[in-house]
Structure 1
């Protein structure tokens, strides 16, 4: 009995040491922007204890109207207090959670029963700084007046330079004055101003812990120590065209002509630029709202950067709604196109050459979702998308051949892509031809997932029938996809003469071998038809497909100059669509392997590829790799991807190539442009087939991607594989 208990304890210890790394789904901070459009520029913004936000534009108070994620609000006149319309407001500040105003003659407030009313005599005043409820500083370009208990106790004129900013000091009876060329300290008690630090082109300042930080127009940030001497400069920033710096929530927030960024306590930078985050990139001011969210004032409006505690499960719910509300076209997982500057009410659901592929990925995600949750909605989503995939095979007259897409007959089809669109035998429908290998592997991946895990007899049988149909077509046509013209499509080729026509270092030889073996194994696993197993073994044993798919990924590169044009075309640089095809294929390659010996070989090939992909921190690749039983599939990076992917999936123009805070790499075959991949919410929106190191891109807010393939597939697969709890 004692020996048994010891064995059990050792077993528990052993399993805990070698168990897969997983993620417990606890709340994290999800950021997103709510944008407000201005008709006239504002120069100041504040919020009060009630959550009200006021802006100042040309002497008039403004407020926010409407506004939510993806639905911009507006900056409109604030007529809450009617008499304020007669006031020419020069500045606005917050004091003890209340709005305080400055006009040409007085400081006043509507709070405290309107009792705050303090005259000043600063001509051409431009700003004020509340030191306490009884102490204020009013200033113009060169004059400063200190007021206490409603009386002027000290007034002085700055000997030279124009005042840019005034800021209260760490001691009540001190304040800092910044001009373009000098930092001063004002001391009302001694009625003196003394110079602390000289330079040029200063634009803003803030007190950050024990350091005083000055933003320079083109030299980055100057950090001054407690003696107000230069401690160091930081020029490794997203932009050096700085305009404002603030210490908020223990972090440095910096506004520039190229967006805003924050520097956390560890020195890590988060960049907020483009219309994903800001109405425009010309940042004027940054304030912390009373609700804890950041207010970023720009030349054309205001952005509220909302920080919301959210779990991945809650994010999935958000994205499920996004997909169903505006991304399901005839059952396909589609892009919302034709947007007018990101306005989702102006778009239409467009067809794509890859409707079958993107829908395959959404379909598999919904199958995983149903297997995990048994949610009838997930089952219905699975059924509808599987029906759309099924019709790809019936919409055209070629047995077992899947169309790329289908759409109702119309001149748009003929004009947009006349070579691909064909008339269907069914009235009022056209179908898109020239189906490629990435469609095929996507289909087999999704059908295999559905057939394996969805406990619905009818749906399971439908998926198996589709596997059989496609693979029978491929086998009967000597490993080609044969189009309407009786010829192989350009990219639907797995025949040995084609595949082995490439040298071993050309990626398509390895890729096509890996994919077709995965497809045949999947077909055999579910249909039990010996022809599929026999053909797979023939390709591996007679034509070297096992050797091809095992070829080390590190040896894949550019073709020799003496190779044919196609080989050179396919190997100019790494095609990240190939990654997508490999990893979708790995599902069937590994899970449906004919025997354990092959399974171990496949695992070796998968891990060899996965190790090269690690720098991209791609959630889907890491989570698919987890099925091999590896201890850690890069789960931390996968969760990072899922958490950092933005809620806003609009194709905004994104630019990062100008940044000085990222380390660029020399040109290389894989087009890895930076040492570290940037977070998804700082990059352009892209699917899994894109290079995540691409720094610039977008299309001006003219489309919105579906989360169905980008996010929901890796999340629900992670849930199914019990990597996310």
Structure 2
């Protein structure tokens, strides 16, 4: 039997009214990138150049000749193999390759030639050691070795020249001026094919690479210590050398569309129109960080050459809904273990086909967050698959309670018996009554608040009597256990778990500056309100008011976040808990805010709780945390940093493997002094430039030096929950094509 409660309908109407006054992100396509990598063989350790034609054909020049990408796709690297399509090119010593008039053109020790245009482009250039070239107007090509320059056209060398006391680094053609630019190691020159004049226009030293930004009439020159901007109109350097780059040791410069791309000795980066950089470093993006070349790829794609191979950065126009569909496939294909939302562990260098689904201390928590997202998805879309996912994960959550011998006590996890030594924290595993299953003990408070959050969501919103009644039963079962055991979570040994403690004797033993005093008070009131809301059992309401009125829990939970800080001299536990801000606490607070605000006993409390939530959110704003911002929207406030939440969702990488990431060396970011919240930079970096992490991690962690591609996180809790919560609250629209 299916039904929809009147109470749920009233609340839904209230939130739709509130949401009508809130900003809404219209889900239009944005640019989403991912990396496809190709490893190079031993014979081609030096990759020289790459290009793509109008058909999307990619070719590279390596030490052994012409190469092409083979068999690569996202998360599954391919390799580079010999390109024998034009078999009679094998006798040509190819030095470089370029795209000209949307076709591929080759430079050898004798020729500039192409297989396009019926093979009629065949120009002898006369430079045995030619290494670089560029195509100009009407099939003119400027060819250079380290010393000489030759202009060839119609099968003839029409001009010869050389740089003054300098060596050629590279050449470029400026179409709107019909001019060739030549970069030397210490000079910049311009050659006019119309007048056949070569003029040196700028002197310097240590030049390594360059390109022309015709839109701004600039030449950008890379050096080993920054980038120089030469203004073509004024004929002078514009400003001082720019040393505020992610990496100042520039190896390549390439203008692609509106972005200027740089290769460096430590990754690639693109200068955006707003003056900031997109940084591509670490194996999420490249096989190694020594970038030897940046080239335009097919369509909007970008080709990055390194010592170990090629990366094709693929840029697609996605809506957030497209991204949600992609992540749903990731979760369902690789991250569901017995219904739990799990990490794929034991990968060999990022190969997702080599891993296993790992148990976790927080199987119940990560599954609660994924399950919440699927519940919101079902409410928004009525998708039958989402409802199936809810049932499957609810089964897993329900069994956490059935598998332990203690009534109302949920396990952290469960797994098949006989493999305890292979599991995380083997000392915590206990045998169940079933011979084939063991369960994990010492359940913590963060699991409990996750359970109550999602059971409340499903009980309220899922229009299915079976799911609703099972969810309410689980709320009642868990909360009865806590009340029956004097506000403690009691394990199989009859003792409270380390963190499952909400008794005033424990909570109020901490100084007011210790976060657990506020956190535990906030969580238990939210949990009791949720239990009362759905069961109407007076014991929950009475206990909540007892804690708030007699034991100061209301004052505790309303205490401003700014009062929490480092606490010395109050005991070892207080010192430990206040050593720094605990970002897992944020996760527990915000999951609890669903029940704290939404199921508040009365409007007066709801108003106060709204103030507490907004106060906490204000402290979190520098992190631009998508989930915290969207959770804050449940209060109906107009300002909850929706723009930053969308930035989090759009900028989040699709590769959630734990690759090493480095940022602390960057010259384009501002580091700040050590502080209680462990905020290391003035402004938080985009998610795709940070380590793969859950919401309980510090978003300001700049480096991840030990990531070796041995695990993949699930997008179920990381991305799908904030997206579908935003859709449910109406602050993110359906996709607009």
Q: TM-score, normalised by structure 2?
A: 0.94
CA–CA separation in structure 1 for the residues paired with 2:158 and 2:467: 84
- Corresponding residue number in structure 2 for 1:707: 715
Q: Aligned with 2:38: secondary structure?
A: strand
CA–CA separation in structure 1 for the residues paired with 2:19 and 2:358: 49
- Whether 1:481 aligns to 2:489 is yes
- Corresponding residue number in structure 2 for 1:99: 104
1:133 Cα shift?
4.0
CA–CA separation in structure 1 for the residues paired with 2:35 and 2:102: 23
Call closer, same or farther: CA 1:363–1:415 in 2, change over 3 Å.
closer
1:254 Cα shift?
0.8
1:543 Cα shift?
0.5
- Corresponding residue number in structure 1 for 2:8: none
Match of 1:718 among 709, 726, 737: 726
1:406 touches 1:430 (CA, 8 Å); kept in 2?
yes
Match of 2:61 among 56, 60, 71: 56
CA–CA separation in structure 2 for the residues paired with 1:480 and 1:721: 34
Match of 2:629 among 618, 622, 630: 622
Q: Aligned with 2:128: secondary structure?
A: coil
Query: What is the number of residues matched between the two proteins?
Result: 710
CA–CA separation in structure 1 for the residues paired with 2:273 and 2:375: 42
Q: Aligned with 1:652: secondary structure?
A: strand
Residues 567-591 of structure 1 show CA distances to partners (whole Å, capped at 9, x for unaligned) of 0000011000000000000100111
1:95 touches 1:133 (CA, 8 Å); kept in 2?
no
1:308 Cα shift?
1.0
CA–CA separation in structure 2 for the residues paired with 1:134 and 1:425: 81
2:137 touches 2:175 (CA, 8 Å); kept in 1?
no
CA–CA separation in structure 2 for the residues paired with 1:46 and 1:84: 17
1:59 touches 1:89 (CA, 8 Å); kept in 2?
no
Q: Aligned with 2:238: secondary structure?
A: strand
1:212 touches 1:228 (CA, 8 Å); kept in 2?
no
CA–CA separation in structure 1 for the residues paired with 2:66 and 2:676: 56
1:637 Cα shift?
1.1
- Corresponding residue number in structure 2 for 1:314: 322
CA–CA separation in structure 1 for the residues paired with 2:310 and 2:113: 25
- Whether 1:254 aligns to 2:268 is no
Call closer, same or farther: CA 1:17–1:654 in 2, change over 3 Å.
closer
Structure 2 counterparts to residues 301-340 of structure 1, below 5 A: 301-340=309-348
Call closer, same or farther: CA 1:133–1:94 in 2, change over 3 Å.
farther
Q: Aligned with 2:566: secondary structure?
A: coil
CA–CA separation in structure 2 for the residues paired with 1:171 and 1:597: 68
CA–CA separation in structure 2 for the residues paired with 1:102 and 1:341: 37
Deviates more, 1:120-129 or 1:186-195: 186-195
1:120 Cα shift?
2.3
- Corresponding residue number in structure 1 for 2:408: 400
1:700 Cα shift?
1.4
1:632 Cα shift?
2.4
CA–CA separation in structure 2 for the residues paired with 1:408 and 1:415: 10
2:360 touches 2:424 (CA, 8 Å); kept in 1?
no
Structure 2 counterparts to residues 492-531 of structure 1, below 5 A: 492-531=500-539
Residues 233-259 of structure 1 show CA distances to partners (whole Å, capped at 9, x for unaligned) of 211110011111122202211110111
1:226 Cα shift?
2.4
- Corresponding residue number in structure 1 for 2:355: 347
- Corresponding residue number in structure 1 for 2:384: 376
1:455 Cα shift?
1.0
Ranked by relative contact order (alpha carbons within 8 Å, sequence separation 6 or more), the top structure is 2
CA–CA separation in structure 2 for the residues paired with 1:243 and 1:412: 51
Match of 1:581 among 561, 569, 588: 588
1:339 touches 1:346 (CA, 8 Å); kept in 2?
yes
1:403 touches 1:432 (CA, 8 Å); kept in 2?
yes
1:18 Cα shift?
7.8
1:149 Cα shift?
1.6
- Whether 1:79 aligns to 2:81 is no
CA–CA separation in structure 1 for the residues paired with 2:113 and 2:423: 65
1:192 Cα shift?
4.4
Call closer, same or farther: CA 1:246–1:602 in 2, change over 3 Å.
same
- Whether 1:216 aligns to 2:216 is no
2:136 touches 2:175 (CA, 8 Å); kept in 1?
no
Match of 1:131 among 127, 131, 136: 136
| Runs of 5+ unmatched residues, structure 2 | 1-16
Call closer, same or farther: CA 1:472–1:18 in 2, change over 3 Å.
closer
Structure 2 counterparts to residues 324-473 of structure 1, below 5 A: 324-413=332-421, 416-473=424-481
- Corresponding residue number in structure 2 for 1:268: 276
| Runs of 5+ unmatched residues, structure 1 | 1-14
Q: Aligned with 2:26: secondary structure?
A: coil
- Whether 1:110 aligns to 2:115 is yes
1:337 touches 1:350 (CA, 8 Å); kept in 2?
yes
CA–CA separation in structure 1 for the residues paired with 2:562 and 2:286: 41
Call closer, same or farther: CA 1:416–1:587 in 2, change over 3 Å.
closer
CA–CA separation in structure 2 for the residues paired with 1:406 and 1:579: 26
Q: Aligned with 2:212: secondary structure?
A: strand
- Corresponding residue number in structure 1 for 2:3: none
Q: Aligned with 2:680: secondary structure?
A: coil
Residues 409-440 of structure 1 show CA distances to partners (whole Å, capped at 9, x for unaligned) of 12344664222111111111111111100011
Q: TM-score, normalised by structure 1?
A: 0.95
1:610 Cα shift?
0.9
CA–CA separation in structure 1 for the residues paired with 2:521 and 2:178: 77
1:203 touches 1:216 (CA, 8 Å); kept in 2?
yes
Q: Aligned with 2:348: secondary structure?
A: coil
- Corresponding residue number in structure 2 for 1:26: 28
- Corresponding residue number in structure 2 for 1:692: 699
Q: Aligned with 1:435: secondary structure?
A: coil
Deviates more, 1:572-581 or 1:70-79: 70-79
Residues 267-326 of structure 1 show CA distances to partners (whole Å, capped at 9, x for unaligned) of 121111112122221111112224221112222111111221111111111111110001
- Corresponding residue number in structure 1 for 2:601: 594
Deviates more, 1:208-217 or 1:399-408: 208-217
CA–CA separation in structure 1 for the residues paired with 2:19 and 2:594: 26
